[in-house]
Amino acid sequence: DIQLTQSPSFLSASVGDRVTITCRASQAISSHLAWYQQKPGTAPKLLIYAAFTLQSGVPSRFSGSGSGTEFTLTISSLQPEDFATYYCQQLNSYPLTFGGGTKVEIK
């Protein structure tokens, strides 16, 4: 199984900050990686797929990069509505797996 390791697992940031979350895969997954945002009590929302393609309707302050085994999600200027938990997911091979999550909280 492909393991996804997200770091950090928790980060505290202020509105306007640039935030970067890393996702490392235990083996190469090409660009078959997606990022999701989840707020408490709600379903996850797709932000980015194929490592760097922004899902329709997602603000441009979100961006993704990477391929192979190392990927990043960047929020260029953190907004109040961005405080949430973020998950990466590999869609390269079965079983599909998620990272452990990164909780972004207000400093």
Map 1-18 to HEC letters: CCCEEEECCEEEECCCCC
Contact window for other proteins (CB under 8 A) among 16-24, 65-73, 76-84, 86-94: 86-94
34 binds other proteins (CB under 8 A): yes
| Phi, psi for residue 81 in degrees, rounded to 5 | -75, -5
Shortest separation between residue 85's beta carbon and other proteins, angstroms? 8
Residues binding other proteins: number (CB under 8 A): 26
Say if CB 92 and CB 29 are below 8 A apart: yes
Q: In the complex with other proteins, which residue's Cβ is closer, 68 or 100?
A: 100
